[in-house]
């Protein structure tokens, strides 16, 4: 998404920080993914951005949803989304939340441990469970392994365990890591998934679902594989490794790639200073107010209103709170003449930004405006 005249004008008139959302872009992203993965069902990972207009547009396009909590389930139910279109994808759930999800009609549950299988069996007897393989998150900017998923042999025994506990062992899931730069990661993971499919088939259990997780990248500062390229690899890999399994239900859970390029975070320089030889820029947003992912050095493109990168200097940029962790980037190149009150845009920040924002230090999270709301506001 690009900074346009509307956003420029708003940045001058409206109190910063705020996030602008282009809901049309979300629609385009959904349709493009649908076109690139024709027989794949899309379950939007709500955690990337749960803004109500995003959920509504995806609902209207026929999307399904990957949910992680009762809060997300209730939000979708209140928008009239059928529980049949939700999957409880968090492998770490409270028992009462499993019971609630089952009671309202959710059928799919993610597991990656024996105990979680037992919890699901107690509270959602007979439901469909899928187990998560751990894939290496190398080549991605935001790892989702380690805490989640397990090795192939363990996944096989977890699905057998589910079978013994009266659940329906339904499928295999994985996540290649969020913002993955390597399209072959999907191939690797589908090959690994096929080992589980084949082994269970030998035990007389026919799995029905392959869950491709998320991981599709958004354009920031490095080149990325396109959705079309990833779609092709996925398609080829399924043909090659899972051809034995007819009528396979394939789903994907995009978060970042649905909303990342549908947002721009608008902020302002509130202080410029020097400590020893280091030059510092302080903004009215930081790690606790939308730029959480920068703690793992996630790189956003930064534009400064009216300034260009012809002549640059090295700065450390930080947020406004009283915590050193609230340092966005150390030693990055910014326009040398960046100054007090300059407007700073963080490009393609629709995913995992405001969703993480807290009230730390009594500072409000950034306001969120859709393009339409912005038009109204500056009329
Ligand atoms: C976060 C998450 C996703 C979304 O991942 P992206 O990289 O944002 O597309 C998908 N599935 C699960 C289970 C997740 O936890």
- Euclidean distance between CA atoms 301 and 219, whole angstroms: 9
At 13 the pLDDT is: 96
- Nearest CA to 257 out of 190, 328, 187, 176 is that of 176
Mean pLDDT of the chain: 96
Look at residue 275 and tell me whether its pLDDT is greater than 80. Answer: yes
Q: pLDDT at position 26, please? A: 98
Query: 53, exposed or middle or buried, with CB in 10 Å at 0-12, 13-18, 19+?
Result: middle
Every domain of the chain with CATH number 2.40.37.10 lies at 5-18+261-377
DSSP reduced 3-state for 15? coil
180 with 215: CB under 8 angstroms?
A: yes
Report the share of the chain in percent with pLDDT over 90. 95
Is residue 353 annotated as part of the catalytic site, yes or no?
Answer: no
pLDDT reported for residue 76: 98
Q: Decide if pLDDT at 145 tops 80.
A: no
- Residues 6 or more apart in contact with residue 162 via CB below 8 angstroms: 111, 117, 120, 121, 129, 131, 168, 169
pLDDT of amino acid 223: 95
- Say what the pLDDT of residue 146 is: 73
Domain topology for 5-18+261-377: Lyase, Ornithine Decarboxylase; Chain A, domain 1 (2.40.37)
Got the DSSP string for 231-296? HHHHHHHHHHHSTTSTT-EEEE--SHHHHGGGEEEEEEEEEEEEETTEEEEEES--GGGT-GGGGG
Residues of the chain with CATH 3.20.20.10: 24-258
Cα radius of gyration rounded to whole Å, the chain: 22
How many Å lie between the centroid of ligand 1 and the Cα of residue 176? 9
Strands 40-45 and 64-67: parallel
260 C-beta closer than 6 A to ligand 1: no
Ligand 1 within 6 A of 213 CB? Answer: yes
pLDDT at 246 over 90: no
Residue whose pair of structure tokens reads 């990248």 in the numeric block: 217
Greatest Cα pair distance, the chain, in angstroms, is 69
- Confidence category of residue 249, pLDDT binned at 50, 70, 90: very high
Q: Would you state the pLDDT for residue 365?
A: 97
Is ligand 1 within 6 A of the CB of residue 214? Answer: yes
Q: Could you report the per-residue pLDDT of 74-108, keeping only the tens digit for each?
A: 999 999 999 999 999 999 999 999 999 999 999 99
Q: Whose CA is nearest to atom 12 of ligand 1?
A: 213
**Protein residue whose Cα sits closest to atom 3 of ligand 1:** 214
Cα separations (Å) of 244 from 38, 232, 239, 241, 326? 19, 19, 9, 8, 51
For range 70-77, the mean pLDDT: 98
Q: Is the pLDDT of residue 134 over 80?
A: yes
> What would the pLDDT profile of 323-365 be if each residue is shown by its tens digit?
999 999 999 999 999 999 999 999 999 999 999 999 999 999 9
Say yes or no to pLDDT of 19 above 90: yes
Alpha carbon nearest to ligand 1 atom 5, residue: 214
How far does residue 189's CA lie from ligand 1's centre (Å)?
15
Comparing C-alpha atoms, which of 58, 97, 96 is closest to residue 76?
58
Give the tens place of pLDDT for each residue, 150-202.
999 999 999 999 999 999 999 999 999 999 999 999 999 999 999 999 999 99
User: Active site residue: 322, 324, 341, 376, which one?
Assistant: 322
- In short, whether 141's Cβ falls inside 6 Å of ligand 1 is no
Domain 24-258, CATH among 3.40.50.300, 3.10.129.10, 3.50.50.60, 3.20.20.10: 3.20.20.10
26-41 average pLDDT score: 97
What's the pLDDT at 148?
87
Ligand 1 midpoint to CA 322 (Å):
31
Which residue from 175, 212, 216 has its CB within 8 A of the most atoms of ligand 1, so it is best to mutate? Answer: 175
| Best residue for ligand 1 mutational test, from 48, 69, 183 (most atoms within 8 Å of Cβ) | 48
Which stretches does DSSP call E strand in the chain?
A: 18-21, 40-45, 64-67, 86-88, 108-111, 128-132, 140-142, 168-173, 178-180, 209-211, 249-252, 263-275, 278-283, 302-304, 312-318, 327-335, 343-347, 367-370
Which numbered atom of ligand 1 lies nearest the CA of 352? 8
């Amino acid at each position: 998404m690009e900074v346009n005249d509307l956003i420029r004008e708003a940045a001058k008139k409206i109190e910063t920080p705020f996030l602008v959302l282009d809901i049309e872009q979300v629609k385009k992203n959904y349709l493009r993914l649908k076109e690139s993965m024709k027989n794949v069902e899309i379950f939007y990972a709500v955690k990337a951005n749960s803004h109500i207009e995003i959920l509504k547009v995806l609902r209207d396009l026929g999307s399904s949803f990957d949910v992680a909590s009762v809060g997300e389930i209730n939000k979708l139910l209140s928008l009239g989304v059928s529980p049949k279109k939700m999957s409880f994808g968090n492998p770490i759930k409270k028992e009462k939340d499993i019971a609630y999800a089952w009671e309202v009609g959710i059928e799919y549950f993610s597991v990656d441990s024996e105990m979680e299988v037992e919890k699901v069996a107690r509270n959602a007897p007979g439901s469909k469970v899928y187990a998560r393989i751990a894939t290496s998150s190398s080549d991605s900017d935001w790892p989702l392994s380690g805490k989640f998923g397990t090795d192939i042999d363990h996944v096989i025994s977890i699905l057998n365990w589910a079978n013994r506990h009266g659940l329906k062992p339904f499928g295999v899931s994985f996540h290649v890591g969020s913002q993955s730069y390597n399209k072959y990661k999907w191939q690797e993971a589908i090959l690994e998934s096929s080992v589980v499919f084949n082994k269970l088939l030998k035990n007389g259990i026919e799995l029905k679902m392959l869950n491709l997780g998320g991981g599709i990248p958004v354009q920031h500062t490095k080149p990325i594989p396109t959705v079309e390229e990833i779609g092709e690899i996925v398609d080829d890999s399924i043909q090659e490794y899972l051809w034995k399994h007819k009528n396979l239900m394939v789903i994907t859970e995009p978060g970042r790639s649905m909303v990342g390029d549908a947002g721009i975070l608008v902020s302002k320089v509130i202080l410029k200073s020097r400590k020893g030889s280091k030059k510092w820029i302080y903004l009215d947003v930081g790690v606790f107010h939308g730029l959480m992912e920068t703690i793992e050095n996630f790189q956003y493109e930064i534009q400064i209103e009216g300034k260009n990168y012809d002549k640059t200097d090295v700065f450390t940029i930080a947020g406004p709170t009283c915590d050193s962790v609230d340092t966005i980037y150390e030693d990055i190149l910014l326009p040398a003449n960046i100054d007090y009150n300059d407007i700073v845009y963080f490009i393609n920040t629709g995913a995992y930004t405001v969703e993480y924002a807290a009230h730390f230090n009594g500072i409000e999270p950034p306001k969120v405006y859709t393009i339409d709301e912005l038009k109204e506001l500056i009329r």
